[in-house]
A and B are shown apart, each in its own frame.
Chain A
Amino acid sequence: AQSVSQHNHHVILSEAASLELGCNYSYGGTVNLFWYVQYPGQHLQLLLKYFSGDPLVKGIKGFEAEFIKSKFSFNLRKPSVQWSDTAEYFCAVNAPGRRALTFGSGTRLQVQP
């Protein structure tokens, strides 16, 4: 069975600080990887996804993530966060042929002005 671990449960940063949120997955085969964001009171939105090709994926709002197969990781990064990035971030994975997503427990990011 596949699983996703997000080790940072709550991160507090000041504006302009750099961000890296960890995501590790457990699955032996090829996977598709996603980062979703949930702004306060809103629904989940896709930030970026990886399914093949360049392991460095760029998403919306200046976010990027790097797939490192040897480490089973798909960490999310942003060089300079803004107050508006305050949200909860979820890493998710599915295996090709399995449509449903397995989510990590989420990381709550609080950006202080």
Chain B
Amino acid sequence: DAGVIQSPRHEVTEMGQEVTLRCKPISGHDYLFWYRQTMMRGLELLIYFNNNVPIDDSGMPEDRFSAKMPNASFSTLKIQPSEPRDSAVYFCASSLSAGGSSGNNEQFFGPGTRLTVL
């Protein structure tokens, strides 16, 4: 398996522009997570989906951020309009539920998208 795939790997854009980050989870995984990593705040959860349905979006910083999962193999995180403070590495992760609710299943992370907003 190719693992979690993210694109682009690097994105440089100007303030005010729309940015779309993409993620393809591992085939068969039914949970998908978006995390953001910054020097100031570390790794923090933005949103996660189960079976393509958003479950918890409490980490989404503001209305400029939106995430979708139109099908089991694709998700997008969109920032519109982007701001310099959005500069960070955005990670997508996926996991497989084991039929229980223990939550102890490993999350597999993608390589991340390094976003720079000028």
List residues of A whose CB falls within 8 A of some B CB.
32, 34, 36, 42-46, 49, 51, 90, 94-106
- B96 CB, nearest partner CB in chain A, Å: 11
Q: Are A99 and B109 in contact (CB under 8 A)?
A: no
- A40 CB, nearest partner CB in chain B, Å: 13
In the complex formed, the residue of B with least CB distance to A6 is B42
- A60 CB, nearest partner CB in chain B, Å: 12
Instruction: Decide yes or no whether B25 CB sits under 8 A from chain A.
Output: no
Q: Are B55 and A103 in contact (CB under 8 A)?
A: no
- Which residue among A42, A51, A94, A101 has the maximum number of chain B CB atoms within 10 Å of its CB? A101
> Bound complex: CA of A103 vs CA of B42, how far in Å?
8
> Bound complex: CA of A106 vs CA of B43, how far in Å?
9
> Bound complex: CA of A97 vs CA of B102, how far in Å?
5
The contact of A99 among B44, B91, B95, B112, by CB within 8 Å, is B95
Instruction: Decide yes or no whether B56 CB sits under 8 A from chain A.
Output: yes
- A27 CB, nearest partner CB in chain B, Å: 12
Q: Would A97 and B42 be within 8 Å (CB), given that A42-B111, A43-B110, A43-B111 are in contact?
A: no
